Structure 1
């Protein structure tokens, strides 16, 4: 079998959980390398070769202003059969990272998505379904529950119908995603070049049927996050918690993150000029409002306590969305929001080439001139390992 393809065993899982760096009395230290990261403008499917990332990894390796790279992976790209995991592409991309021996070494963030967006609401997912979710999950209704398309299982429409999302509010489905995250932890927690594991945005998981309930989803996400930090005791765990059904549940998840050393993230970070407005409210997403203690969220200001590891997606850079808030935003405007309001330690910039606005050279010029300012170890972490 190819390197990276395996059925996880208890021994392998235990080996990953025991791989630990320097520890404090409160717990093991978390790998901590703040900075600007480059993130792909595409997602790995099962057939995506590692060579597709070569140009991006070359940019990372040759850019002193970049601390690392975030690769995006659909669930189906990593689990090819029930309990059969193929991490060979991640391994090959790790082998490409740090070619040329840049100093300091570049770091990898692995984003795993159990949701995928489509062009129109409630579109028939067709073959896209098994680009995002493993086939065994979507063909066993007795185990994983009904789906809106006849003959499929384990998923529903989320994100106002624009996403297909794994029904992780169902414990049997969540069990399978947790098993994947445990396998990833067993393989990569002990790797000093793997900085983080990042999980799907909550807005895409807010479903419109299939037994979905905001409170059930909250409890299942908390269960998933607890399992993920256990599987990655030395690695940053981030969830993109932007909108979880309502403000109260979004805030409850942020506060759970803070007490379980999970980082807050999101897919979209707008400019500070938008965040300065009072209507819409400052910070714009419910998760960001909670982090900053915005009135009505039920949250104290958590900046400095909770880690903030945030993505900057194509819509706010290109202005294909958020025009009413002022998009497209300049990279400096976005940076000012991430630093001044959220105190983000890691900003992950989508790699755009050949686009009419904010092509990569424009972003690169800004990040080379503006270092991340908030690099201190979050007080919710037991300790940080900066080696």
Structure 2
């Protein structure tokens, strides 16, 4: 299942967020990389093209399901690594009981055959999951996404379905999401990140951890408030960088309730060396329809210094580690903007506007449009151009 719902497009607020704007950098080196002189503060940095799975692990998903994707990565010289996607329930089987065996098994498969250079893993972690219809009864899907202790313990607050707790509908009603605007719920997300960091921060093959799309966490009840969600996400990101001092911490900050809060979080990311991402990247032809481009998410607009966002141009300062998902590749959404987009069109948007260092392409097989061979052919002839260490980072370790 595709894991996004397109939230309504709101009018961009003219509110100017001055805080943090001076942190911007216009650095646009196409090939330079930097290695920190103090190795202890350096962040692992291996830009390039990555595969991302078109499916999500739940508690019952075996590592063998990723075998074909990992084989493609291992045998493709122009792929830098693989992003595995994991629902929260796949990694925490009971309160404080963590099972990372599937990640370990996939890490072991990732470099079979000893490819040079070694391939890197990016861990996608989600506390929300998308539904096919608005406010659909999640049924068994609830505990495929969220650990059962969270949804049965009244400590984590009410839920819209009787007998459950700790979650609500988000993403304009097309998602179930952990109620992370509640501190008790966020505390559990932080605990998971601390456990992951303790295990994987020192692993040179673990490039990053990507946190849930913000649009899916915009709730429709249960005490939800835009400002409360913003403050809890800032808590989460602060804890995440502490748990992963040498690993890229990334959040898919696309639409956080309103433009000012989305921009505020991007500026917080920039000042706390957290990378920007999102589930969707349209083609450059869509972004070129206006100047500056409007066919970008609110988070992307802030990164590029779009007027009215309260942001200076942050390219070169903030890392952009961007996902490319099904809808823009298959044309199941964004038809009005020109979807489906060719991989080359999407690549040009990521490079020319966002200066993305990592592009993570959904691995599509058996589809009528943009099957993996089409994407691979583009990847093989168009390397990532913006590989410089972000100026907001303390340094980058390119070993």
TM-score range, shorter chain: over 0.9
Question: Alpha-carbon deviation of 1:250?
Answer: 0.1
CA contact (8 A) 2:53 2:83 kept: yes
Partner of residue 14, structure 2? none
Residues 101-139 of structure 1: CA deviation (Å, up to 9, x unaligned):
100000000000000001001000000000000000000
Mapped to 1, the partners of 2:391 and 2:308 lie a distance apart of 24
Q: Are 2:373 and 1:381 aligned?
A: no
Pick from 151, 165, 172: which aligns with 1:138? Answer: 151
Whole-angstrom distance in 1 between the partners of 2:39 and 2:373:
43
Counterpart check, 1:38 vs 2:51: yes
Structure 1 residues 280 and 373, CA gap change in structure 2 (3 angstroms) = closer
Deviations 1:169-210 (A, max 9, x none): 000000001000100000000000000000000000000000
Give the structure 1 partner of residue 294 of structure 2. Answer: 282
3-state SS of paired residue (2:249): strand
Q: How does 1:128-167 map to 2 (within 5 A)?
A: 128-141=141-154, 143-167=155-179
Q: 1:235 aligns with which of 234, 247, 251?
A: 247
Residue number in structure 1 paired with 2:20: none
Change (3 A) 1:83 1:343: same
Q: Distance in 2 between matches of 1:24 and 1:181?
A: 27
1:77 partnered with 2:90: yes
RMSD: 1.3
Q: Supply the distance in 2 between the matched residues of 1:295 and 1:61 (Cα, whole angstroms).
A: 43
Deviation track 1:227-265 (CA, whole Å, cap 9, x = no partner) reads 000000000000000000000000000000000000000
Is 1:292 matched up with 2:292? no
Give the 5 Å matches for 1:1-387.
Answer: 24=37, 28-141=41-154, 143-278=155-290, 281-387=293-399
Alignment coverage as a number of residue pairs: 365
CA–CA distance in 1 between the matches of 2:75 and 2:82?
Answer: 12
CA gap of 1:212–1:27, structure 2 versus 1, over 3 A, is farther
Contact 2:292/2:306 (<8 A) preserved: no
8 Å CA contact 1:269–1:313 kept in 2: the answer is yes
1:277 shift after superposition:
1.7
Question: How far 1:283 moved relative to its partner?
Answer: 4.2
> Per-residue displacement from partner, 1:29-50 (whole Å, max 9, x unpaired)?
0000000000000000101000
Post-superposition CA distance 1:345-366 (Å, at most 9, x none): 0000000001000000000000
Q: Tell me how far apart the structure 1 counterparts of residues 298 and 291 of structure 2 sit (CA, whole Å).
A: 13
The answer to whether the Cα contact below 8 Å between 1:26 and 1:382 also exists between their aligned partners in 2 is no
Residues 34-87 of structure 1: CA deviation (Å, up to 9, x unaligned): 000000000001010000000000000000110000000000000000000000
Matched residues in 2 for 1:366 and 1:281: separation? Answer: 24
Give 1:284 deviation, angstroms.
Answer: 2.0
Larger relative contact order (C-alpha < 8 A, sep ≥ 6)? 2
Q: CA deviation at 1:282?
A: 2.5
TM-score normalized by the length of structure 2: 0.90
**Which stretch shows the higher mean deviation, 324-333 or 276-285?**
276-285
Moved over 3 A (4+): 22-27
SS in 2 for 1:242: coil
- Structure 1: stretches of 5+ with no match in the other structure: 1-21
Query: 8 Å contact 2:39–2:397 — kept in the other structure?
Result: no
Distance in 2 between the 1:208 and 1:298 partners?
A: 26
TM-score, normalization by structure 1: 0.93
Deviations 1:280-339 (CA, angstroms, capped at 9, x unpaired): 953421000000000000000000000000000000000000000000000000000000
In structure 2, distance between residues paired with 1:251 and 1:27? 30
SS of 1:196's equivalent?
Answer: strand
Distance 2:38 2:264 in 1: 27
Q: Which runs of 5+ in 2 are unaligned?
A: 1-34
SS in structure 2 opposite 1:160? helix
Q: How many Å separate the matches in 2 of 1:185 and 1:77?
A: 16
